[in-house]
Amino acid sequence: MEYLVWVGPRDSDIQFSKCFKESICYFSEKNPNSDRTAHIYGNSYIEFIKNKMENLLEFHPEARFIFYNPKIAYGLNENLRKYILCLNKKFILDLLSDKIYTRYWMGNYVPVLPSLLVDSHHLSFSELDEKLGYSKNYVIQQNRSSGGFGTFYVEKKEQALNIFRERYNELFIISPYVENGLSVNINAIVCNNQIYLFPISLQIIENNNNRLIYHGADYIAAQNINAEIQTKIKKYSKVILEHVQSLGYRGIIGIDFIVKDGNVYFQEINPRYQASSFLIDASLTENGYPVLTEINLSSFYEQCDISMDVQNITVEYSFYKYLYTSGAKHLYHIEQIAHNNPYISHVLLDGWDNSMTVEVDSYCYTLVFSTNITSLNFDGGYNLYSNITGEEEYLKEYISSRIGLKIALLNQGCVITAEAMSYLNSKGIIKKAVFSSIDFQLSDGLSINAPVNLKFTDLSPFNITVSVNKHLKLNYYNECISEIYLEMQPNWSNLKTQNKVPYSRIAYLSTDRLRVKHETICSLKKKGLGCSFCSIPLSKTTFNMDDIKEVINNLLDKPKFRHILIGGGSGNPDTEYKQIIEISKSIRAVNSNIPIYLMSLPPLKADILMQYKSAGITEIAFNIEIWNRSLAKELMPGKGLIPLELYLRALKEGTKIWGTTGNVRTALIVGLDNMDTLLEGVEYLSKQGIQPMISIFRPMVNTKLEALVPPSNKVLLSFYEKAQDICKQHNLKLGPTCDACKNNMLAI
Task: Report how far residue 135's alpha carbon sits from residue 147's, in angstroms, rounded to the nearest whole number.
Answer: 24
Task: Report how far residue 86's alpha carbon sits from residue 431's, in angstroms, rounded to the nearest whole number.
Answer: 62
Backbone angles phi, psi at 323, to 5 degrees: -110, 145
**Helix, strand, coil percentages in the chain from 3-state DSSP, rounded to 5:** 35, 25, 40
Torsion of CA 623, 625, 629, 635, to 10 degrees: -120
Which residues contact residue 501 at a Cβ distance below 8 angstroms, ignoring those fewer than 6 apart?
Answer: 541, 542, 543, 547
Helices marked H in 591-643 — which ranges?
Answer: 607-614, 629-635
pLDDT in tens, 390-421: 998 899 899 999 999 999 999 999 999 999 99
On the 0-12 / 13-18 / 19+ scale of CB atoms within 10 A, 651 is buried
Contact predicate 221/376, CB 8 Å:
yes
Contact predicate 436/508, CB 8 Å:
no
Q: Which residue has the higher pLDDT, 701 or 369?
A: 369
Annotate 86-129 with DSSP letters as a single string. S---HHHHHHHH-HHHHHHHHTTTS-B---EEEEGGG--HHHHH
Contact predicate 484/446, CB 8 Å:
no
On the 0-12 / 13-18 / 19+ scale of CB atoms within 10 A, 722 is middle
Which pLDDT belongs to residue 157? 66
Per-residue buried b or exposed e for 398-407, using 16+ beta carbons within 10 Å of the residue's own CB: bbeeebbbbb
**Residue 443, SS3?**
coil
With cut-offs at 50, 70 and 90, classify the pLDDT of residue 592. Answer: very high
Q: Which helix (H) or strand (E) holds 384?
A: strand 382-384
Q: Identify residue 370 by its one-letter amino acid code.
A: S
CB atoms within 10 A of CB 3: 14
Which pLDDT belongs to residue 408? 98
Task: Report how far residue 51's alpha carbon sits from residue 554's, in angstroms, rounded to the nearest whole number.
Answer: 83
**Res 245 pLDDT > 60:** yes
Inter-axis angle of helices 545-555 and 576-590, nearest 10: 30
pLDDT in tens, 651-661: 999 999 999 99
Residues in the chain: 748
pLDDT in tens, 320-379: 999 997 678 999 999 999 999 999 999 999 999 988 988 888 999 999 999 999 999 999
Task: Report how far residue 223's alpha carbon sits from residue 241's, in angstroms, rounded to the nearest whole number.
Answer: 22
**Residue 601, SS3?**
coil
Percentage of the chain with pLDDT > 70? 95
Range list of β-strands (E), 224-333: 251-260, 263-270, 318-323
pLDDT mean over 486-515: 90
pLDDT in tens, 298-310: 999 877 766 667 8
Contact predicate 737/620, CB 8 Å:
no
Which pLDDT belongs to residue 308? 65
**Res 436 pLDDT > 60:** yes
Which pLDDT belongs to residue 572? 82
Task: Report how far residue 424's alpha carbon sits from residue 440's, in angstroms, rounded to the nearest whole number.
Answer: 13
**Of 18, 19, 76, 85, residue with least CA distance to 52:** 76
What DSSP character marks residue 430? B
End-to-end CA distance of the chain: 66
Percentage of the chain with pLDDT > 90? 73
Which pLDDT belongs to residue 309? 78
pLDDT in tens, 547-575: 999 999 999 876 678 999 999 778 888 88
Range list of β-strands (E), 488-562: 507-510, 513-516
Task: Report how far residue 236's alpha carbon sits from residue 102's, in angstroms, rounded to the nearest whole number.
Answer: 14
**Residue 688, SS3?**
coil
**Residue 289, SS3?**
coil
Region at 127 (left for phi over 0; alpha for psi -120 to 50; beta for the rest): alpha
Task: Report how far residue 99's alpha carbon sits from residue 145's, in angstroms, rounded to the nearest whole number.
Answer: 9
Please state the separation of Cα 143 from the chain's center in Å.
30
Which residues contact residue 215 at a Cβ distance below 8 angstroms, ignoring those fewer than 6 apart?
Answer: 204, 205, 206, 320, 321, 323
**Res 28 pLDDT > 80:** yes
**Of 357, 374, 218, residue with least CA distance to 712:** 374
Task: Report how far residue 451's alpha carbon sits from residue 211's, in angstroms, rounded to the nearest whole number.
Answer: 32
**Residue 206, SS3?**
strand
| Highest-scoring range by mean pLDDT, 5-19, 161-175, 518-532, 539-553 | 5-19
Q: Which residue has the higher pLDDT, 468 or 559?
A: 468
pLDDT in tens, 328-341: 899 999 999 999 99
CB atoms within 10 A of CB 167: 8
HSE of 49, CA atoms in CB hemisphere, 13 A: 29
